[in-house]
Chains A and B, each alone.
Chain A
Amino acid sequence: MKNFDFLFWAYNVIWLGIGGYIVFLVLRLKAVSERLQRLEKSSGD
């Protein structure tokens, strides 16, 4: 396995990238939901 350290790290980087994209989507969802709530609230005023 020693000679294939690059393989292990390449895969971890790929998985971290995918995980990062999911976290980005969750955060984006939270931000848009909050913005929409604010807009709806101010429209109701």
Chain B
Amino acid sequence: MTSGQNRWTLALTALVLIAMFVAIWMVFQYVPNERVMGPVQKIFYFHVPAAMITFLSVFLLMASSITYLWTRNQRWDRISLASTEIGLMFCTLVLVTGPIWAKAAWGVWWTWEARLTTTLILWLLLAGCLMVRGYAQNQDLGARLASVLGVIAALDVVIVYKAVHWWRGQHPIVFKSGEKNPLAPEMYTTFMYCIGVFMALFLLMMILRVTVLALENRTQALAERRTGELS
């Protein structure tokens, strides 16, 4: 990584960290409380963008996994690994924030409702992607197995999204197709801002993680070559 790229990365990191604090301020100070649910509705501003980024990560995971299986180019495997880790992190965020809202709205932390259950399956699939990499006999086998699991995870995303329509679960649907936006202007602005912050976070994390993986691979290759030369 050149010093120019380093400067850009640091600037983007600082910008995203500031944007994160502005998002907290907007959610807790700027946006009004929802009439029926009160302050607990504020979970929506982080829960939904986190779910969107989880879906985005998994679709990137699927695209990079298929491309890796096709080309066996390590670059695609690095993108696949980075999107798995980041997707798992955001999926964890969804599974943590959801029950906080559910306890206040439904009176229980968890219920085996279709969307919740399929989201938990998605989390397990993403964790599985990382585990097979760690437990496989060699790196190539681990990458191939993780790629196959990555494609299955993407299929599960479709089920997560359609679950509330197919099985009519308890999970609320805020934006219904063909219907007017139900949010007040401040709520909509905050929601869109939070989506922007989460997108920037995702972009930053992807850049950083893929760069770290690329440098680690290069360092490992160089260190192995040095050991070979010395022995």
Interface residues of A (CB under 8 A from B): 1, 3-4, 7-8, 10-12, 14-15, 18-19, 21-23, 25-26, 28-29, 32-33, 35-36, 39-40, 42-43
Contact = CB atoms under 8 A, between A and B. Distances in A.
A14 B93 contact: yes
A35 B46 CA distance: 37
Given A26-B9, A29-B211, A39-B226, A12 B24 contact: yes
A29 B100 CA distance: 34
Contacts of B100: 7, 10
Given A43-B222, A43-B226, A7 B208 contact: no
A1 B24 CA distance: 14
Given A11-B46, A26-B208, 8 more contacts: A4-B39, A7-B43, A11-B27, A15-B21, A36-B215, A36-B222, A40-B222, A43-B225
Main secondary structure of the interface of A (DSSP, over half): helix
Contacts, number: 80
A28 to B, nearest CB: 5
Main SS class of interface, B: helix
Interface residues of B, number: 39
A12 B225 CA distance: 45
Given A7-B40, A36-B215, A36-B219, A42 B24 contact: no
B188 to A, nearest CB: 20
B96 A14 contact: yes
B209 to A, nearest CB: 6
B219 A35 contact: yes
A22 B1 contact: no
B1 A15 contact: no
Contacts of B225: 43
Given A18-B201, A42-B226, A29 B212 contact: yes
**Shortest 9 CB-CB contacts between residues of A and residues of B:** A25-B208, A4-B39, A32-B215, A39-B222, A36-B219, A29-B212, A28-B212, A15-B20, A33-B1
Contacts of A23: 13
Of B10, B205, B222, the most chain A CB neighbours within 10 A belong to B222
Interface string B121-144: 000000000000000000000000
B97 A36 contact: no
